[in-house]
Structure 1
Amino acid sequence: MSGAPLLPVDQAFDRLLALAPALPIEHLPLADAAGRWAAGDIAALRTQPVSDLSAMDGYAIRHADLPGPWEIIGESAAGRSFAGAVNTGQAVRIFTGAVMPAGADCVLVQEEARRDGTKLHLDGDGPGHVGRNVRRRGLDFCEGDTLIAAGQRLTPARVALAGVAGHGRLPVRRRVRVAIAATGDELVPAGSPVGPAQLPETNRLMIASQLAGMPVEIIDLGILPDDRPALETAFAALDADLLVTSGGASVGDHDLVQPALKSVGAQMDFWRIALRPGKPMMAGRLRDAVVIGLPGNPVSAFVTTLLFVRPLVAALAGDADPRPKARAAMLGEALPANGPRTDYMRGELRDGRVRVAAIQDSSMLRTLARANCLVLRAPHAPEAAPGDMVDILDLA
């Protein structure tokens, strides 16, 4: 595998998603299902509206009786309908959302009506046609209509739609169990004393933070040493849907993650992507879990989490379209031609123009913290001039 050509980013993404198993379905109350993805098509259990309703405050009449006058015979309000029927020359006082009485076929709005006791007179143009100011039965949807497709995000509007359609619970995939481990003898917990050959470890925190707000259960495996037996012990005991490691993903003498995974039964699918930063990322399966090995450099770990880990978690959670969404932005400066790898450059979008950081070294967290987007440069992209359009990925 080490001698294989670098895998294009799109191919790596597709192969990674192909590793994702279908997680079990659970049915959650509407409030708990909000923000998740529908695990199946959601159809209407009822028709909305179930009856013809008034769209305005006014008077329910027969269009054929215009221009009036009419005799007012009752009232229809939301939740309290008029029990009788409207016959020739009759009208019913009606309010927005109230059920149209039998016999009436339009609504005379109150601004065009003049009332004298029980007598009603036209004081305007009146409704122009049958059905004017009426919300017909089934205007929104009918029983059996598919309202939400499998894989769509359960946004606030869709949750409300499902509730009006008669649902109290919705099908979603269960939370994704994500185990996160950092590897390296040089790493110490953030906040601990740091020796001259040591480094505070923050990749686990960063990766977990990038998954915040997603339906995940984080399993923190801590900092694992550069020791193959210790790594094998940790990986053999894995009970998760996804294992994410950072560090040790290359092929140096101390890069032991891949051999340790293979020794406990992992099947690696690919390694090394035509990507900058993040080339040595690897992916495979360990029993029922997907495995993603991220580089240890923090910017590389951040970018590969954004491009691969987050979308994979979304796919496991049921998202039908998890691919990161780029948008166009105008360059504020010239960029040189790109090399053979897709480049994701840290940039800042200000005043409608994007500029990239002068130094793109994958160890520089300060530059990453200042960035609000990544500028995408396709393999072998030509020079770009100020004013040219480029694709960017927004950073939250």
Structure 2
Amino acid sequence: MRQNLSVEEALEAILEGARPIAELEPLPLAQAYGRTLGAELSARVSHPAADDTAVDGYACREADTRGASPENPVRLRVVGLAPAGQPFSQEVGPGQAVQVFTGAPIPLGADAVVRVEDTRREGEFVWLLRPASPADIRRRGEDLVEGQTYLHKGDLLTPARVGLAAAMGHPVLPVVRRPRVGLLTTGDEVVEPGEPLPYGGVYNANSYTVAGLVEEAGGEPVFLGKAPDSPEELRTHLAQTQGLDLLVTTGGVSMGERDVVRKLLEAEGQIHFWRVRIQPGGPLLWATWNGLPLLGLPGNPVSAMVSFLLFGRPLLFRLLGRSDPPYQQLRAVAETRFEANPARRAYRRGILRWAGGYRVASTGSQSSVVLRSMAVGNALVVVEAGKPVRAGEEVEVIPLPGGKTAG
């Protein structure tokens, strides 16, 4: 069993054997937001399908309008009307114009458009106060060309990408099946919210914070309840993990005699590594139980969240085949001091804001039991071992998924 790995070594070990899920499922457009595209997607149509007008106005021949001005307007005869979806079927001849609305195909014979605000209508004639312009024509295929690929396997389906798929003519999208992630909390002291809290007890926050992180990263959380600090009880819960892609436990992975997750896995599973040189989250465990990958998170709430963000989130991205990185990394100027751990890389909680550049301040107490710091903060500040960050210095920052940057 490997121990005391660096962040990079631990992440490499976790991702090493992870293979993207091959199973795809078809979803209607309205249900595809936030899912991962499972195949290349090409346009079934060109868009625009024909040269069309980008403005409301009159389509005509540019040569007929040269020199038009308010002082010397040009008069054209209006021979038709072309709303979007109802193209003008005849040809525009010399001295003629067709009234067009945004999105309408340019009639045959016309090669320019004059905007309606630059005209004055008088019955069957229109006076042009400036020349018509070809620049207000959107050319066929300017947005999409039939047969060309615009969305790719591994793309996160954002609202804009779902809209693009719709414009390409796809009513149903092939998406990657969401990884099923079992969530098992351990510890005699853990009590469900709403139940009476005994002396020394804590409410179960980990199941709900980690479930939210799993869902936000594209996984499907599966609640497996709570296992007391008993090998027999833990074994019973672990028997209920069929059909999962990943099992995430919280608690029971540290060095105490009652840390039953680690002890049971040592005896009956396979531990790939234990402990990482980070703070918080040092007692992280990566193992296999009956062929199922198991990520053992520490029990302290902040440690569990930080560990999942650094290791569980990249793993889910790998399982989904996501093409985007699991998190951003940027530089910010520290507005407060961030203390270092002498031997481990520290991930401090910060409040990131934009003020002509990124700036970050501490959330206050950095204790791993202060869950408020993750609710108030919107970023992790990376502090290398033995190198405190002073106010005014630049530091690496990881924005928290879903967090809003103050400005």
Q: TM-score, normalised by structure 2?
A: 0.86
C-alpha distance in 2 between matches for 1:28 and 1:143: 22
Question: Which is worse superposed, 352-361 or 148-157?
Answer: 352-361
Does the C-alpha gap of structure 1 residues 192 and 113 become closer, same or farther in structure 2, counting only changes over 3 Å?
closer
Question: Which is worse superposed, 34-43 or 323-332?
Answer: 323-332
* Match 2:295 to one of 292, 295, 304: 292
Measure how far apart 1:370 and its partner are: 4.1
Question: Which is worse superposed, 356-365 or 90-99?
Answer: 356-365
Cα deviation 1:166-220 (Å, max 9, x = unaligned):
0001111112211111122333333333444543332212212333445443222
> Which residue pairs with 1:392 in the alignment?
397
Measure how far apart 1:82 and its partner are: 0.7
Measure how far apart 1:229 and its partner are: 2.9
* Cα pair 1:20 1:290 within 8 Å, conserved: no
Letter aligned with residue 362 of structure 2: V
Question: Which is worse superposed, 249-258 or 171-180?
Answer: 249-258
> Which residue pairs with 1:7 in the alignment?
5
Matched, 1:258 2:262: yes
RMSD: 2.6
Cα deviation 1:254-282 (Å, max 9, x = unaligned):
22213433655x44332221211111111
Does the C-alpha gap of structure 1 residues 34 and 368 become closer, same or farther in structure 2, counting only changes over 3 Å?
closer
C-alpha distance in 2 between matches for 1:8 and 1:179: 26
C-alpha distance in 2 between matches for 1:388 and 1:185: 44
> Which residue pairs with 2:246 in the alignment?
242
Number of matched pairs: 389
List aligned pairs for 1:73-222, cutoff 5 A.
Answer: 73-124=79-130, 126-128=131-133, 131-222=134-225
Measure how far apart 1:301 and its partner are: 0.9
Structure 1: give runs of 5+ residues left out of the alignment: none
Does the C-alpha gap of structure 1 residues 87 and 267 become closer, same or farther in structure 2, counting only changes over 3 Å?
farther
C-alpha distance in 2 between matches for 1:358 and 1:100: 63
> Which residue pairs with 2:71 in the alignment?
none
C-alpha distance in 1 between matches for 2:351 and 2:65: 64
Q: TM-score, normalised by structure 1?
A: 0.88
List aligned pairs for 1:274-285, cutoff 5 A.
Answer: 274-285=277-288
Structure 2: give runs of 5+ residues left out of the alignment: 67-73
Which secondary structure does the structure 2 equivalent of 1:302 belong to?
Answer: helix
Does the C-alpha gap of structure 1 residues 249 and 337 become closer, same or farther in structure 2, counting only changes over 3 Å?
closer
C-alpha distance in 1 between matches for 2:327 and 2:217: 15
C-alpha distance in 2 between matches for 1:75 and 1:365: 64
Cα deviation 1:307-340 (Å, max 9, x = unaligned):
2223333433342224221333321223455533
Cα deviation 1:371-395 (Å, max 9, x = unaligned):
34322112343x4332222222334
C-alpha distance in 2 between matches for 1:218 and 1:336: 35
C-alpha distance in 2 between matches for 1:57 and 1:77: 9
Letter aligned with residue 236 of structure 1: A
List aligned pairs for 1:287-326, cutoff 5 A.
Answer: 289-326=292-329
C-alpha distance in 1 between matches for 2:360 and 2:76: 67
Does the C-alpha gap of structure 1 residues 289 and 29 become closer, same or farther in structure 2, counting only changes over 3 Å?
farther
Question: Which is worse superposed, 358-367 or 98-107?
Answer: 358-367
> Which residue pairs with 1:341 in the alignment?
344
* Cα pair 2:180 2:220 within 8 Å, conserved: yes
C-alpha distance in 1 between matches for 2:163 and 2:217: 20
